[in-house]
Structure 1
Amino acid sequence: MKNKIKLLVKYIITSVVALSLFNGVSAQNKVEAALKVKINSIIKKMTLEEKIGMLHGNALFSSAGVPRLGIPELTCDDGPLGVREEIKRFDWASANWTTDSATFLPNGSAIAATWNPLMANKYGVVIGEEANARKKDVMLAPAFNICRMPLCGRTYEYYSEDPYLNSQLAIQSVKGIQSQHVAACIKHFAANNQELDRDSVNTLVSERALREIYFPAFKAAIQQGNAYTIMSAYNKLNGYWCSENDFLLNKVLKGEWGFKGVVMSDWAGTHHTIAAANNGLDIEMGSKGYYDQWYFARPLLAAVKAGQVSVKTIDDKVYRVLWLMYHTSLSANHPKGSIATPAHAKAAYDIASESIVLLKNDNHLLPLKANSVKRIAVIGDNAIRTFALGGYGAGVKAKKEVTALDGIKSRFGKTASISFAQGYRANYLASRTDEQNSGYDQPDQNLIDEAVALAKTSDVAILCIGSNREYESEGHDRKNLELPFGEQALVNAVTAVNPKTIVVIMAGAPYDLNEIKKSNHAVVWSWFNGSEAGNALADVLKGVVNPSGKLPFTFPVSLKDSPAANLNTYPGKNLTAEYKEGILVGYRWYDTRKIQPQFPFGYGLSYTDFSIGNISTDKLSYAKNETIHAKFTIRNTGSRYGAEVVQLYVSDPVCSVLRPEKELKGFKKIFLKPGEIKKVEMKVKVADLAFYDELKKAWNAEVGEYVLQLGSSSGSITQKVKISVN
């Protein structure tokens, strides 16, 4: 039956496309019209009980189909680091498959650090191909909540602190996944910015902040990426659970943005039957107890029969689920997929190598000259640790994961002797209580002594520190910004005996690097960087790859400098977190309040140098419906091939409301040979200069002067030009 339906739909669509081309009518509109007819005809054949059955889970990662009509189950899989290992149908234990090893992809903030939408698309294609190989219809990825608070346990999973950067990457991640006829489930909608009390906190956020900061990436992923599914967040937003928030799901998502797909709850994120059904939730997932007792099971059936939820509402939900299926599992020419292939490993390598950020390179210690380095000390637990698994949340049973030590050996082992010392003990588990983890932050003097002895006899020491997937984990937030496991004591001791120490930090969120920044000549940031992390890192250290990563969030000098901490709005009081900083999130806060960060948003060095000049615009004055064409030149003034991320910020000096000092409105990653010059153009719609006017309930690009600013980070602006809007 399933194959017959596929063939019928394919025939209808093919015929309609041919006819539409003949008639000069949009082929896509005709396809959608044909699909609408087909789906409505199926819904008419369904019983109410069958419809209800499709709207809630029937196992941990699936919801029911209707076998008699050829409608299959809808299957989901956890992301976003890759397709997770197969678990049992009704519990979280491993299914013990031998064929479910997958590619471990770089974490979300690593993807953001590439500042390259092509890398986000490449990530998505791999996810989609591997999901197909495992017969998964929906990937619960990408996750791109705004990094509002550096301590958030899922910062590593999310992208950045900036809505524009998030938007451009989210669009391409979604397009990549869905190019393989697999649904991207964008998450978590909305204002899910802390793990502490995440399932009970009420976030109070102004409509302006929602529209300017927390909504844009979701809107872009839907309207430009055409995301098929979206996951509601655990928290309340302005007094209402996100899974039953009429403003969020009905008015904005489905009404204003025209979302056609499915709203899925986060696991155990549904709280009521009638409110959730009437206010926009389509599928309930992960609730506790017997499946037929879930909110969208027997209670929903009873609510419909009692007239509290209309049949029309139920039909709309079922329509969305079927629409999703005809774009995924029931789609024509559905790809077979592939998993853990060499091509996927290459994609992981490409993303990782573009994500690595060079934070400091005084005395040009990097890149290492292989011929002059004969003895290398590799120190630190993170040199031998893998990051595909750990803590709570989704992981990957990686087919392979190259550690830093393995990568360094493969790149330097033929010309140098390489020795290892652990240096510190990462004695922390996310599953333990604070009492059980007590002492995790204390240095191990015996391990430090061993590391110091090794460093003394080596030409260079590569110190691999940072965090891991236990310490940064879903389900809890960090307590502070300090480096864990007594690592600072290790850094101080090794640096004291070997001035040629390279500090490599592997983590997914900001940390306090003040002391390291002052004392170390070379500092590299390397993320939880996927299956090829060690090879990508070693190639950067050797100079095979010129680092081009840029920080996707601000590193504060101290926690009290960050807006949520400064205003005492985190984690909230009485389970209420008021976002008092409003639109001043991330660099918007630091720049506007004139607070010097440890490292600014968008920061990252290279082994070569670039000059940006000759900024101009096609006009000096623009109407509100026009587009600004900003042009500039960039030159590689150094001796190595490399890439610079040129960032375009805009400021509105005189405005009727508070505006940030500057806002990112464009960026381009530009690769240049030594001495090469390129002329580059960036386009910005005048409408995108607007702020959300809460009085008018509309976007407002006020008449007046604006300043376009070009630079290599929010803290390094080298070119400015003024334009006016009339």
Structure 2
Amino acid sequence: MRLKHTILATIAVSIINISCKDSTKREISMDEKVLSKTYQGESITHDFDAEIDALISQMTLEEKTGMLHGTSMFSTAGVERLGVPELKMADGPLGVREEISRDSWAPAGLDNDFATYYPAGGGLSATWNTELAYTFGFSVGEETRARDKDVLLSPAINIIRTPLGGRTYEYFTEDPFLNKKLTVPFVVGMQENDVAVCVKHYATNNQETNRDFVNVQIDERTLREIYLPAFKDAVVEAKAYSMMGAYNKFRGEYLCENGYMLNDVLRDEWGFEGIVISDWNAVHTSVNSLRSGLDIEMGTPKPFNEFYLADPLIDSIKVGKISEDEIDIHLKRIMQLMYTVKRMGANDRKKGIINTEAHFKDAYDIASESIVLLKNSNELLPIDASRIKSVAVIGNNAKKKNALGGFGAGVKTKREVTPLEGLQNRLPESVTINYAEGYQERYAPKKESVFGDVTQERVDTIDELDPKMLQDAIDTAKYSDITIIFAGSNRDFETEASDRADLELPFGQVELIKEVLKVNPNTIVVMIGGAPFDLGAIKEKSKALVWSWFNGSEGGNALADVLLGDVNPSGKLPWTMPKALNDSPAHATNSFPGDKSVTYEEGLLVGYRWFDTKNVEPLYPFGYGLSYTSFSIKNTKTDKNEYSNDDTILISLEVENTGEMDGKEIVQLYVSKSNSEVERAEKELKGFIKVMVTSGESKKVTLELPVKELAYYDVSQKAWTVEPGSYSLRIGNSSRNITSEVTINVK
């Protein structure tokens, strides 16, 4: 019997409100009860195996191979005479991509392919909110179905190894625990809509430079503990229906024909029953790729019949290099997916909805919780609109739209509220907005990008300011009560297929900001981007600094609500912002980007693990983010002192809102093991919870930590092992701000 997707709401976090005045309890809301969930996905169905076998037995060789490769830019062939439809795919990290032509990358020019633009991965991860991850997945899943797609190429969950990564904006985080806790609900939410995720890019695809051939070398323990946990949980916990093989090599073999990764790990160890789809133009052989675990080849720029799994595969079958029985294995996997998402064998498939106000609200909710307050001296924020008559809005990013742009998937949307439009929507008529562009978005000439030509030069910018534009910005700031500079990056600068050259802000923005600050100290700097930049000088000179993202259709409204105090900022950084590039581990070890090969010399010490273990001071640490209110975390204790391997540690504590505004705090649990027999980072994230606390009140929170989460990967045993002994459980609100610590013992 085919089971429906379920979400088992288990109270993994208990919350009891305690009044700070009289200590009386009040009833908690349903939203508070489901702050943490256990998500259970649904496996690929086998109810129709006999029917599938019967269909395959009637197919010609050409019909079989047609289902194994792209016969349009985003679909494989069906078998019309047998009632087997095409398998339809769409790009999707920011929302469902517009329709393109069947045989080229030119837009199809339709008027019914608009979609909601959702915040990029960096924005979602900055919320530290698993409920919003589920909301994102479910919402974009509904839109995928409304567009009649079977597979959405999302989510993108590769670990952020370098701050220069061209797709850092698209990925979630540098931390494997946060990564998997966001991935699982996202996958479950999307697949509840009779559509398959395609989790990407499996795996070790952590740079764009030379991505189509670079040979990545990672030791086994680092692979298991850092780079694979989210992929594993996507399969084991969320039951992902498909995975995308990456471009690069891993230990000498391309990942779309890497038997160790696709067969030994993905299928044999994790029990994956879905299909593996190649990244576009990432396949290099016919027989070897299939035997190594690939199911579908997609890509450009060859004619479809010249794909490795098209005519060349037919030739290989005819000369006995591979049998039809082996081909049938892959066909059956594909058709099992088609039955599971009800493309075949059912008439009750969900219809989906798209471009609804409910979906724009989903995008708003994610964006509003993603914004990170980095600095707020003299309480310049939130802006009190009743006390000002004018505001200077400066910066190209005030008007810049990011739904489309760059090299890769975007969204054709009917709504993208810019930061300037958000302020216009939210400020009262009594406040005059004075706009000056300040800097120009200008690029050095380069060759035109061709999809499939994945080794490209970096995006080079022209960084000289126009003197007249600079003076206009200075004059605008000088004669306004307060100034907001919208600076940072955009999706033309941060882009697939190109890593950045350094951490410098482009387009001369640092000089612009310094000059504006000279004439108006009441200046708020808002950075919009997806990856770290060198903000040292700006941090030092500015009174208020805010980080926002490529934040979707409602991004401008969400940002305005935070700046004006209608929403208390609650986002926290999902990656470490370094003071200097060489402070980051991949660069400190001189192991990025490599040439034909790259070895991850930093090993386990990725992101904050490196900074905290090596005592390197970051500009802003992992997990950092301020609020308009203040919080105190106190009374931390565990339910007992000693545990066995099958136990779950219960850590109780109180979060008190000691300020004057209601707000959300993210409690973060880090674990340390002293005197370990194996190498360990100074601390590792092993739990978190986002808690809403009313001003003047406190909440009691219980975090659950399964002892199995303390395990390391024992390479000699090829197994996860919990080392006995004492562990320090450290509670705080960033990796560098630990406010309490409890020691427990594992038998």
**Structure-2 change in CA distance of 1:696 and 1:436 (3 Å):** closer
Partner of 1:24: none
Partner of 1:318: 331
- 1:351-390 aligned at under 5 Å gives the runs 351-390=366-405
3-state SS in 2 of match to 1:585 = coil
Q: 2:508 aligns with which of 460, 480, 486?
A: 486
Quick one: distance in 2 between partners of 1:566 and 1:499? 36
Partner of 2:124: 111
**Structure-2 change in CA distance of 1:634 and 1:314 (3 Å):** same
Partner of 1:245: 258
3-state SS in 2 of match to 1:564 = helix
Identity across aligned pairs (percent)? 51
Shift of the alpha carbon at 1:437? 6.9
**Are positions 1:129 and 2:151 aligned together?**
no
3-state SS in 1 of match to 2:666 = strand
- Divergent runs of 4+, >6 A: 28-31, 433-437
Amino acid at match of 1:551: L
Q: 2:499 aligns with which of 477, 502, 505?
A: 477
Partner of 1:638: 659
- 1:438-449 aligned at under 5 Å gives the runs 440-449=462-471
CA-to-aligned-CA distance 1:255-279 (integer Å, 9 cap, x gap) = 1000110100000000111210110
Q: 2:360 aligns with which of 323, 345, 367?
A: 345
Partner of 1:147: 160
Q: 2:425 aligns with which of 391, 395, 410?
A: 410
Q: 1:618 aligns with which of 639, 655, 674?
A: 639
Shift of the alpha carbon at 1:690? 0.9
- 1:225-240 aligned at under 5 Å gives the runs 225-240=238-253
**Are positions 1:296 and 2:309 aligned together?**
yes
Shift of the alpha carbon at 1:297? 1.2
3-state SS in 2 of match to 1:613 = strand
Partner of 1:533: 555
Quick one: distance in 2 between partners of 1:543 and 1:640? 9
**Are positions 1:692 and 2:701 aligned together?**
no
Alignment RMSD (CA, Å): 1.8
**Are positions 1:68 and 2:81 aligned together?**
yes
Partner of 1:467: 489
Partner of 2:53: 40
Partner of 1:673: 694
Quick one: distance in 1 between partners of 2:460 and 2:724? 58
**Structure-2 change in CA distance of 1:610 and 1:436 (3 Å):** closer
* Deviating more after overlay: 433-442 vs 312-321: 433-442
* Deviating more after overlay: 82-91 vs 122-131: 122-131
Shift of the alpha carbon at 1:313? 2.6
1:109 and 1:552 in contact (8 A); partners too: yes
Q: 1:255 aligns with which of 268, 287, 295?
A: 268
Quick one: distance in 2 between partners of 1:321 and 1:152? 33
Shift of the alpha carbon at 1:29? 10
Partner of 1:586: 607
Shift of the alpha carbon at 1:33? 4.6
2:459 and 2:498 in contact (8 A); partners too: no
Partner of 2:104: 91
**Are positions 1:511 and 2:533 aligned together?**
yes
3-state SS in 1 of match to 2:439 = coil
Greater relative CO (CA pairs within 8 A, separation 6+): 2
Quick one: distance in 2 between partners of 1:165 and 1:85? 30
Shift of the alpha carbon at 1:436? 11
Partner of 1:17: none
Q: 2:672 aligns with which of 651, 656, 660?
A: 651
Quick one: distance in 1 between partners of 2:77 and 2:632? 58
Quick one: distance in 2 between partners of 1:204 and 1:446? 51
**Structure-2 change in CA distance of 1:92 and 1:287 (3 Å):** closer
Normalised by the length of structure 1, the TM-score is: 0.94
Partner of 2:626: 605
Shift of the alpha carbon at 1:656? 1.3
* Deviating more after overlay: 113-122 vs 47-56: 47-56
Quick one: distance in 1 between partners of 2:461 and 2:646? 60
Quick one: distance in 2 between partners of 1:308 and 1:158? 39
Shift of the alpha carbon at 1:577? 0.6
Partner of 1:276: 289
Shift of the alpha carbon at 1:36? 2.8
Partner of 1:425: 440
Amino acid at match of 1:718: T
Amino acid at match of 1:577: V
Amino acid at match of 1:340: N
Amino acid at match of 2:137: G
* Deviating more after overlay: 216-225 vs 331-340: 331-340
Q: 2:726 aligns with which of 691, 705, 715?
A: 705
2:670 and 2:684 in contact (8 A); partners too: yes
3-state SS in 2 of match to 1:552 = coil
Shift of the alpha carbon at 1:184? 0.6
CA-to-aligned-CA distance 1:213-269 (integer Å, 9 cap, x gap) = 000000111111111110000000011000000110000001100011010000000
CA-to-aligned-CA distance 1:139-160 (integer Å, 9 cap, x gap) = 0001010000110100001000
Shift of the alpha carbon at 1:697? 1.6
* Deviating more after overlay: 159-168 vs 312-321: 312-321
Partner of 2:29: none
Quick one: distance in 2 between partners of 1:294 and 1:237? 22
Quick one: distance in 2 between partners of 1:312 and 1:712? 55
Quick one: distance in 1 between partners of 2:43 and 2:613? 50
Amino acid at match of 2:532: P
2:132 and 2:366 in contact (8 A); partners too: yes
3-state SS in 2 of match to 1:34 = coil
Shift of the alpha carbon at 1:132? 1.3
**Structure-2 change in CA distance of 1:243 and 1:607 (3 Å):** same
3-state SS in 2 of match to 1:671 = strand
Shift of the alpha carbon at 1:438? 5.8
**Structure-2 change in CA distance of 1:96 and 1:606 (3 Å):** same
More helix by share: 1
**Structure-2 change in CA distance of 1:715 and 1:413 (3 Å):** same
Quick one: distance in 1 between partners of 2:393 and 2:324? 65
Flag structure 2 segments of 5+ consecutive residues without an equivalent. Answer: 4-40, 449-455
**Structure-2 change in CA distance of 1:717 and 1:343 (3 Å):** same
Q: 2:475 aligns with which of 453, 457, 466?
A: 453
Amino acid at match of 1:341: T
1:270 and 1:287 in contact (8 A); partners too: no
Partner of 1:18: none
Flag structure 1 segments of 5+ consecutive residues without an equivalent. Answer: 1-11, 15-27
Shift of the alpha carbon at 1:654? 1.5
Amino acid at match of 2:51: K
Partner of 1:551: 573
Quick one: distance in 2 between partners of 1:223 and 1:332? 28
CA-to-aligned-CA distance 1:537-578 (integer Å, 9 cap, x gap) = 0000110000000000000110000011111111103x1110
2:115 and 2:143 in contact (8 A); partners too: yes
Shift of the alpha carbon at 1:429? 7.3
Quick one: distance in 1 between partners of 2:48 and 2:702? 40
Amino acid at match of 2:356: T
Amino acid at match of 2:666: V
